[in-house]
């Protein structure tokens, strides 16, 4: 029988692998986005609407995930949703009807939301059992998986047909999921008390005004990451005149820079407040994001490869600036009076999800009815706005955000936290 320490190590390996593979599957389609748009025969407005309204699946997942976890356990939910999420990706190249494609995106968002909540709940419980902060490692693994997947997928897109690409990687992911989720914590190890928490209920619409300010800052701060993930491959093809093999390079560079930035937060905050990092990162990052958007296409008219280098260089700076954004506003949740940290985070995450739905639709409309360069002005302006909001938070946030680190990590995907979990 395994000892407590060896069992904790097994669970940690399993969760690290799960986070990594989830990162891989999250970005595997990035270099294929232009092909998928052509495959279903829609314009940019419709594509933006598909991406935006697919977020309804995530909101439904928000309402259902905790019920699934309480009834079946986070382990069982994790085992089902990981494999299902990989299999749904493999269906993407087979669909040519826009409405069926939208339905698939809804399903993927729903499953992804349930997966994220189950996975994060396992990570938080394991951290409590081990009595030390390890959750940053898990979300660091997600970020590494996401960045490496974008790079490898860009290479595969240069010679491999889309159906094989989106069958091979998700298929391998499903096999790995079957192994690593078996190492996750059992319901007995988690304990019912950790599977469900009873928090004091407070009306969402009566939330303190600080919640809305933090939610606005969070939305503005993550908008550059959302825009680059959803539209960088299309930008590379239509504006920089690059093929699919190079289309994922700007996102890969942006994502890698963001990983470096987030892993550096602990060391940098020894001398500077995290909100100061976000303030300066947002100002310089927004300038760099805008320069990459405008200068890259100008250079690409003469030399597409040099244009790629220019855009990637400036977006690398933008990625560094984006890194401290989300952690800053999550840290601010610990200062909201009248709500627990978890309750404040829940309201911020829900508001953020709704705003992102609308923003994705707006980006598609701008890309179609004006152009992609103008569309990228929106996340550039949002990043600058986030910097201004972060500057206002410097006097409010306790320099020690350890309590929030337990509730929400400083690296990895932005998930949804509910009042019940």
The CATH number of the domain holding residue 135 is 1.20.1250.20
**Please, which residues have CB within 8 angstroms of residue 25's CB and are 6 or more apart in sequence?**
85, 86, 89, 149, 169, 170, 173
Give yes or no for residue 405 having a pLDDT over 80.
Answer: no
Same domain, 111 and 12: yes
Task: List, as one string, the DSSP characters of 112-142.
Answer: HHHHHHHHHHHHHHHHHHHTS--HHHHHHHH
Where is the domain boundary, 163, 196, 229?
196
Mean pLDDT of 238-257: 88
Same domain, 247 and 132: no
CA distance 234 to 291: 18
Domain range holding 42? Answer: 1-196
Which among 235-249, 309-323, 391-405 has the top mean pLDDT? 309-323
What's residue 411's pLDDT? Answer: 43
Same domain, 310 and 335: yes
Least confident of 243-247, 256-260, 391-395: 391-395
Q: What is the pLDDT of residues 105-156, one digit of tens each?
A: 999 999 988 888 788 778 777 877 777 656 667 777 888 898 899 889 988 9
Give the predicted TM-score (pTM) of the model. Answer: 0.78
CA distance 109 to 126: 26
Same domain, 258 and 148: no
- State residue 352 phi and psi, 5-degree precision: -60, -40
What's residue 397's pLDDT? Answer: 55
Q: Specify whether the backbone of 417 is left (phi greater than 0), alpha (psi in -120 to 50) or beta.
A: beta
Same domain, 190 and 204: no
Same domain, 125 and 256: no
Give yes or no for residue 381 having a pLDDT over 60.
Answer: yes
Cβ atoms < 10 Å from Cβ of 39: 17
Same domain, 166 and 315: no
Same domain, 191 and 310: no
Mean pLDDT of 216-224: 91
Task: Confirm if 373 and 297 have CB atoms less than 8 A apart.
Answer: yes
pLDDT band, residue 341 (cuts 50/70/90): low
Same domain, 239 and 186: no
Distances from the Cα of 189 to the Cα of 35, 122, 156, angstroms? 45, 10, 41
Same domain, 158 and 220: no
Mean pLDDT of 267-290: 86
Where is the domain boundary, 196, 230, 248?
196
Task: Confirm if 387 and 286 have CB atoms less than 8 A apart.
Answer: yes
pLDDT band, residue 395 (cuts 50/70/90): low
What's residue 133's pLDDT? Answer: 59
What's residue 195's pLDDT? Answer: 43
Same domain, 269 and 334: yes
CA distance 393 to 153: 39
Q: Quick one: DSSP state of residue 94? A: G
Q: Please give the angle made by the CA atoms of 184, 198 and 413, to the nearest 5 degrees.
A: 45
CA distance 167 to 67: 31
What's residue 416's pLDDT? Answer: 41
CA distance 100 to 376: 28
Q: How far is CA 20 from the centre of its chain?
A: 13
Q: What is the pLDDT of residues 67-80, one digit of tens each?
A: 888 788 888 989 99
Two tokens, residue 299: 């250079």
Continuous H helices in 269-401 = 274-300, 304-322, 325-332, 341-369, 372-375, 377-393
Where is the domain boundary, 136, 165, 196?
196
Same domain, 136 and 240: no
Domains contained in the chain, number: 2
Which among 14-23, 98-107, 344-353 has the top mean pLDDT? 98-107
């Amino acid at each position: 029988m395994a000892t407590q320490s060896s069992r904790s190590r097994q669970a940690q390996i399993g969760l690290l692998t799960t986070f990594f593979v989830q990162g891989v599957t999250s970005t595997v389609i990035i270099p294929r986005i232009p092909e998928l748009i052509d495959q279903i025969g829609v314009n940019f407005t419709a594509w933006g609407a598909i991406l935006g309204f697919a977020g309804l699946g995530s909101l439904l997942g928000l309402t259902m995930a905790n019920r699934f976890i309480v009834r079946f356990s986070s382990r069982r939910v994790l085992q089902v949703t990981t494999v299902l999420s990989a299999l749904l990706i493999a269906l993407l190249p087979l669909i040519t009807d826009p409405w069926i494609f939208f339905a698939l995106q809804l399903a993927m968002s729903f499953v992804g939301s349930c997966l994220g909540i189950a996975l994060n709940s396992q990570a938080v419980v394991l951290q409590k059992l081990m009595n030390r902060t390890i959750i940053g490692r898990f979300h660091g693994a997600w970020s590494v998986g996401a960045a490496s997947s974008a790079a490898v997928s860009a290479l595969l897109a240069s010679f491999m047909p889309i159906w094989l690409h989106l069958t091979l990687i998700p298929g391998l992911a499903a096999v790995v999921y079957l192994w690593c989720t078996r190492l996750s914590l059992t319901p007995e190890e988690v304990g019912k008390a950790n599977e469900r928490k009873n928090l004091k209920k407070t009306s969402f619409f009566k939330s303190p005004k600080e919640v809305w300010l933090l939610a606005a800052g969070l939305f503005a701060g993550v908008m550059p990451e959302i825009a680059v993930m959803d539209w960088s491959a299309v930008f590379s093809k239509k504006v920089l005149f690059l093929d699919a093999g190079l289309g994922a390079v700007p996102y890969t560079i942006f994502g890698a820079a963001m990983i470096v930035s987030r892993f550096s937060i602990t060391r940098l905050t020894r001398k500077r407040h995290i909100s100061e990092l976000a303030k300066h990162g947002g100002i310089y990052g927004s300038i760099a994001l805008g320069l990459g958007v405008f200068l890259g296409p100008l250079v690409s008219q003469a030399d597409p490869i040099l244009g790629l280098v220019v855009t990637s260089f400036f977006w690398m700076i933008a990625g560094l600036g984006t890194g401290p954004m989300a952690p800053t506003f999550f840290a601010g949740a610990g200062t909201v009076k009248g709500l627990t940290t978890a309750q404040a985070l829940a309201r911020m995450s829900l508001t953020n999800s709704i705003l992102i739905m609308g923003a994705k639709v707006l980006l598609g409309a701008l890309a179609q009815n004006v152009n992609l360069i103008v569309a990228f002005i929106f996340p550039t302006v949002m990043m600058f706005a986030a910097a201004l909001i972060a500057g206002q938070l410097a006097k409010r946030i306790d320099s020690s955000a350890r309590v929030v680190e337990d509730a929400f990590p400083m690296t990895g995907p932005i998930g949804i936290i509910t009042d019940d979990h």
